[in-house]
Structure 1
């Protein structure tokens, strides 16, 4: 009874604290661009903390621990490699802003590749944001009960409502402010949790686990290394923050947060490695399994870590979706909704909070939210990284983009032959599809530009 009161009480107290600390925003600049009441942009520290914690998703730290348990340090490094796309995205956005005066990715695509390209890109973003809702609420629910149980669903719904309410109160500004708080909470409690594990093993022992072989996690590492060239561009949680501050401040924030994120994910994979070395019976939620074996205090700390990580991502998801639907897309059509855009944005938040939780209720694999969507958007890599090296063409965009979408869907329904795989590991086919697919997308983007360069 006392344990239940502690866990459920924390969820309620967390909601009250977030509501108290979230600023009420009355301006469109604050709601969509994260400005304060005086119109000042977010500070370098707040921007860095926001990028860092927004990308430390609850599903990410869970996947890191799971992969650490499965592949040792190889799994931790494989998943942490995704965080290297943050500095890469920072460099790409810096180039687009300085050389091509880009003010946002949707408007950039509209100006250079047409409205059709912007609409297709926005659809990919919607898939990404949809995945972010259920994959993070599922992680929180997993600490209160088995998947599909009443406690699982009820806790996930309460968590969603809490995050939705304070997100509607302040939009992107509330997301950035609460991200800073959640980042501090996350770092403190992760250090505490890892402190319970590290004394049982030397760092050398943890780093020597696993085998650097294709069928032992290296194929997953190579998948991550390929997807970092495209993965960040379909995530407005990240890219929206690339256009709300000075270019140099933004670039520094992206580099620092990316490096810190890489380190944090590797360190969190130690939890999975320890669980494997200790012979703890494991499910698909290694942090929760370990927390249960370490007692009530450790399990409670795991909940604090996961709720803070999930909350930072979910509120960013809501604010990004509001900006896309009520600000970016109307402006693409030359429509300025004015103050109505804030109301429409809040309505969209409510809709995605409901629809986005349906997979959580019915149950699905949270790792798929990363690997499959990452494959579907490999066609974005040449568009944003090679723009300007050849003549931008609508045909080039669509060949590259839709090739990636087709390959991702084909992977999902299982129609790609196994001989396209590279290696013999679990992720052999995923690696092959991403490797060959990225080559095809790049050629598909470049050739039309070379053909029409003089027309």
Structure 2
């Protein structure tokens, strides 16, 4: 890293700090801080969603996993994008009409206050740990790039976190969303510059194919850590993420109206799909260039140091840091929203004033930033991808079951059943990871299925035991457009009324069915058929999802 690259980096960080902080004066009430006054237009919403979801975990962690295990890790992103489109069309419109800020807020509407407090507390810790993973990838990249050694880890972690924490605390969601839009552009530019450099060094696609083991190029493997079962598990985790992840949902809840939210989610899912190749293929190229790198998370930083010239190196580094900082800022803001809306406001005897709410939100932003740094030290022991999959496999799937599957679509579910379903699912997931399958290479995949299955079984069982004729919670009004939506001419229907719209939805679900079938074919050993069918059905799925936006 030369002086020119360092100057570029310092100027970028200074500009980002200034740009993010000027939105302090835009914050007049809590909704401005938490959801940007619900005024974000589709383009900024889509850019903010993409910048939040594409980060150094993608460029460093997932590329490193491609280096280690092969191309099938691409489904980590692609199935998440498929889930984002599905949730955007059929789940998020319901939640947006409820005008909530957080999933715990929905849980209080559905199950009562105790469930809201429990999930809010756990989810603040969960977001803090995820932030630690993202910070770890950034500090690791900086150590490799600057050749500064292990002792410099904490220094780089502080450098990357302090700027983001300050402008997030100052400008809230307005700072997050508008800096995310800028950072998305820089991220894309940096990836586009680096991609041809490393692909050329590896000899292009032909050179990569000649150098890699055959199993590294199997899109739907029958065996291995990232096999067909992993793809099904990561698709389930993608559905959970798209429906309940606070960092993503808070951006969606910032949209102007339901139609804006739907369009932003669908566009974000589709545009990120080809973009994903910009970090997975460099991981494969690095394996072809040098198969002897021992630490997977150091692969891409090492390639940057070796092949990128001065000046361009600084530009690419700004793009990588943009990917990291956009995710940190959005999730810190989300954690602050959870604490302020779901714990602080609910535990007070009297509702806090808007000014007090904003002060607490900014203070808790600083606290979450501190927890992020602490958790990043633990993430170093696990590696980025393993740490993240371990986290969501245990905690996230049971929440998806009780909040979305039963919370939205089965009105009889009781609070006792929801509590038992979540706790038992999380417990069985943790038991699977740390005891029952602790030595199994696919322990995270197994834990995902076990935690989801446990919650799916326990919740209706306890509902049967605890049901005493209570009046079901009615959410039917949120399933259809409000009178205000219809009057504005921007109504969105979950299922279109026109024949063309119904046909598009039919094709959408048919392609999803073919996709799932293709994954099972991979499990049976039909790898080539599974690869072609999965890609073809995914393309049709996205095309029909995009077409759905034009039919009501």
Unaligned runs of 5+ in 1: none
Alignment of 1:405 with 2:426, yes or no, is yes
CA gap of 1:148–1:318, structure 2 versus 1, over 3 A, is farther
Work out whether residues 130 and 352 of structure 1, in 8 Å CA contact, stay in contact via their aligned partners in 2.
yes
Of the three residues 8, 19, 23, the one matched with 1:21 is: 19
In structure 1, C-alpha distance between the alignment counterparts of 2:143 and 2:438, rounded to whole Å: 37
Q: Offset of 1:309 from its aligned partner? A: 0.5
Alignment of 1:321 with 2:335, yes or no, is yes
Alignment of 1:259 with 2:267, yes or no, is no
In structure 2, C-alpha distance between the alignment counterparts of 1:350 and 1:113, rounded to whole Å: 31
Work out whether residues 391 and 453 of structure 1, in 8 Å CA contact, stay in contact via their aligned partners in 2.
no
Q: Offset of 1:394 from its aligned partner? A: 0.5
Work out whether residues 430 and 447 of structure 2, in 8 Å CA contact, stay in contact via their aligned partners in 1.
no
SS in structure 2 of the partner of residue 335 of structure 1: coil
Q: Which has the larger radius of gyration?
A: 2
Q: Offset of 1:125 from its aligned partner? A: 1.6
Of the three residues 279, 285, 296, the one matched with 1:284 is: 296
**Aligned match of 1:305:** 319
Alignment of structure 1 residues 40-439 onto 2, 5 Å:
41-90=39-88, 91-98=90-97, 104-145=102-143, 149-199=150-200, 200-202=203-205, 209-211=216-218, 212-215=221-224, 217-218=226-227, 219-245=229-255, 246-282=257-293, 283-285=295-297, 286-297=299-310, 299-333=313-347, 335-361=351-377, 363-364=380-381, 365-375=383-393, 376-382=395-401, 383-386=403-406, 387-411=408-432, 414-417=434-437, 426-427=441-442, 429-439=443-453
Count of residues in correspondence between the two structures: 441
Q: Offset of 1:85 from its aligned partner? A: 3.1
CA gap of 1:441–1:203, structure 2 versus 1, over 3 A, is farther
Q: Offset of 1:223 from its aligned partner? A: 2.6
Q: Which moved more, 1:261-270 or 1:110-119?
A: 261-270
Write out per-residue CA displacement over residues 425-445 of structure 1, whole angstroms, 9 at most, x where no aligned residue. Answer: x22x32222223312211222
TM-score, length-scaled by structure 2: 0.73
In structure 2, C-alpha distance between the alignment counterparts of 1:232 and 1:153, rounded to whole Å: 32
RMSD of aligned alpha carbons: 2.7
CA gap of 1:440–1:411, structure 2 versus 1, over 3 A, is closer
SS in structure 1 of the partner of residue 296 of structure 2: coil
Work out whether residues 114 and 394 of structure 1, in 8 Å CA contact, stay in contact via their aligned partners in 2.
yes
Q: Offset of 1:92 from its aligned partner? A: 1.6
Work out whether residues 39 and 254 of structure 2, in 8 Å CA contact, stay in contact via their aligned partners in 1.
yes
Write out per-residue CA displacement over residues 272-327 of structure 1, whole angstroms, 9 at most, x where no aligned residue. Answer: 11111223432222211221221444654542232011110111122112222223
In structure 2, C-alpha distance between the alignment counterparts of 1:318 and 1:417, rounded to whole Å: 33
CA gap of 1:275–1:360, structure 2 versus 1, over 3 A, is same
Say which structure is richer in helix: 2
TM-score, length-scaled by structure 1: 0.88
In structure 2, C-alpha distance between the alignment counterparts of 1:181 and 1:210, rounded to whole Å: 34
Work out whether residues 71 and 210 of structure 1, in 8 Å CA contact, stay in contact via their aligned partners in 2.
no
Q: Which moved more, 1:103-112 or 1:165-174?
A: 103-112
In structure 1, C-alpha distance between the alignment counterparts of 2:149 and 2:431, rounded to whole Å: 28
In structure 1, C-alpha distance between the alignment counterparts of 2:388 and 2:267, rounded to whole Å: 22
In structure 1, C-alpha distance between the alignment counterparts of 2:231 and 2:125, rounded to whole Å: 24
Q: Offset of 1:249 from its aligned partner? A: 0.9
